[in-house]
Structure 1
């Protein structure tokens, strides 16, 4: 009997061992995969989705601490704000994500959309500095540092292979720092900034167009019919392509959150630059009685940076039970856009 029991036990062990090996071959990859997924999920919380904006008082304090001058020269706030905003966009916690190709960062498209909006606004300001604000008239020479900075900022934000997008943007920051240093140096003729009404109108006109575009994109979160206004009812105007009298516009469902965060990035950067412009162009704004209007625009843009109470961008109907974050954002942008139009009119005609 003992011999029979030993034989039966041996047979049972031989049957059990392959089963355990098979189970281990299945469970081990599952456990490893689950551990990797959990690690990537935890890492995804590391990048900073709402970086702190540069403060104008901090810019003034840093300047007075490093310089013998009592206050920064005209143009210093705007230039330094552009530099610091770019540094935040590219070198914030988690780095620049728009060109990442590996998980989990490649899946974090909301931050990438935020970066896209902020970078576009930085490009607009650098273009205005290069073409208008740093030049005394149309026949004057361009500033070489601003030329290089504007070219570098126009590199594709999704380029990840050498040279990477963030590498080019950091080079642009260095060019802007060179221009800023020349601006702050009273002993050199290089680098200048002309705070005139026409130059301010140029900057604000670029912002105005950007806000108008973003407002339209946000409003398209729900389907709506739009009439063609491209020719502005001008009977003598023509277009390269025929446009329908009326068409339905709607953002694809999967792109609604990207448009929303792109708008947040745009307004984040715009808010930084307008606060700097308020200091550099103070005499112009006061002369045109436009300071109060600018304060109201800044207040509207500050509302766009409020924290979301939902973990996702809600996209309800216009008067439904679920809110629509995109339409709310669009309302703030529309009011800011109207304010910019008023200021531009005052600067050019007032």
Structure 2
């Protein structure tokens, strides 16, 4: 009898163990499926927004003052990084955020343009000349946006960027207050040309990195213009440059984020710098740049970023993106020349 009881207890324990194991596996599987669903949802890029509508909403003015479109766009781009589905993902240390790399790369592309615009606001747009005093809120906001974009604790990246947002809110509040004169926005052609110089440099670098997806032999231009005595030898003048396979999609999505941010910034600039652009007959040039950048936002029908050769059987998404970026950059260079003319 005791033997039968022992056998029965052994079978019952085995049954319970198997059931617990199945339950645990079911929970793990359900968790993975849920994380995958959230990961897919969080990977959708934010939609375009109307910069004029944003300026009216943020300023509560039907006809916002000069500079309001640019400042409102900068604020909304920063808010989008923090408040889009999933929030800010570049510093996530838990699933599914830690598994994602495309949308963090997109975030970095947007962030670089936010940083460049905040610097332009601080050193050019808000100052009448090089010897004038910089705006105190912008002087604090710009360094905060340069905080490490991957830091997750003590302090977190999000907390530093939110501090910067509060300072940008302060500048916006003073800018739209017609009773105060301590916040200004100088929509001059030379200021716009300086910012476009930074944009051109960024796009030029992105174009080269995108083109390197298939591997390229390039001439080493690091010592270009230097004395003949310091030039590299002919044998070392050529460099083999190829983007690592695991980085190809990251560079692609960084370019997507950069272009997405620039589309909105250029739309805001067109409104705030309208008079300066009209005097130089340059408004059409700005719209053409926007048109070129809009082409980078087309729907990606492939489940992954393809990396075929230049004239191979498979498409190369990076080379297509590089083409659009290069054309936009060429148009920006022409626009800067136009703005420099008297």
TM category, shorter = over 0.9
**What SS does structure 2 have at the residue aligned with 1:118?**
helix
In 1: Cα distance, 2:229 partner to 2:35 partner: 55
Q: 1:236 to 1:81 in 2, by over 3 A?
A: farther
Q: Paired residue for 2:329?
A: 337
Q: Paired residue for 1:133?
A: 125
In 1: Cα distance, 2:67 partner to 2:316 partner: 39
Q: Paired residue for 1:256?
A: 248
Cα deviation code 1:104-131 (max 9, x no counterpart): 1111111111111100110001101101
Cα deviation code 1:264-292 (max 9, x no counterpart): 11111111100000011111111112111
Residue correspondence of structure 1 range 41-80 to structure 2 within 5 A: 41-47=36-42, 49-62=44-57, 66-67=60-61, 71-80=63-72
Residue correspondence of structure 1 range 221-236 to structure 2 within 5 A: 221-233=213-225, 235=227
Q: Paired residue for 2:212?
A: 220
> Contact conserved, 2:127 with 2:133, CA < 8 A, in 1?
yes
Gaps of 5+ in 2: none
Which of 35, 42, 63 aligns to 2:30? It is: 35
- Higher Cα Rg, which structure: 1
Q: CA shift at 1:71, angstroms?
A: 1.6
TM-score of the pair, normalised by structure 2: 0.92
1:182 is aligned to 2:177: no
> Contact conserved, 1:54 with 1:81, CA < 8 A, in 2?
no
**What SS does structure 1 have at the residue aligned with 2:213?**
coil
> Contact conserved, 1:54 with 1:84, CA < 8 A, in 2?
no
> Contact conserved, 1:63 with 1:71, CA < 8 A, in 2?
no
Cα deviation code 1:286-345 (max 9, x no counterpart): 111211111111001011111111121111111112111111111000000000000111
Q: Paired residue for 1:3?
A: none
In 2: Cα distance, 1:63 partner to 1:8 partner: 80
In 2: Cα distance, 1:268 partner to 1:32 partner: 39
In 2: Cα distance, 1:24 partner to 1:243 partner: 69
Over the aligned positions, Cα root-mean-square deviation in angstroms equals 2.5
Q: Paired residue for 2:186?
A: 194
**What SS does structure 2 have at the residue aligned with 1:286?**
helix
Q: 1:258 to 1:7 in 2, by over 3 A?
A: same
Corresponding residue pairs, total: 341
**What SS does structure 2 have at the residue aligned with 1:304?**
helix
Gaps of 5+ in 1: 1-5
Q: CA shift at 1:42, angstroms?
A: 2.0
Q: CA shift at 1:347, angstroms?
A: 1.2
Q: 1:22 to 1:131 in 2, by over 3 A?
A: same
Residue correspondence of structure 1 range 261-340 to structure 2 within 5 A: 261-340=253-332
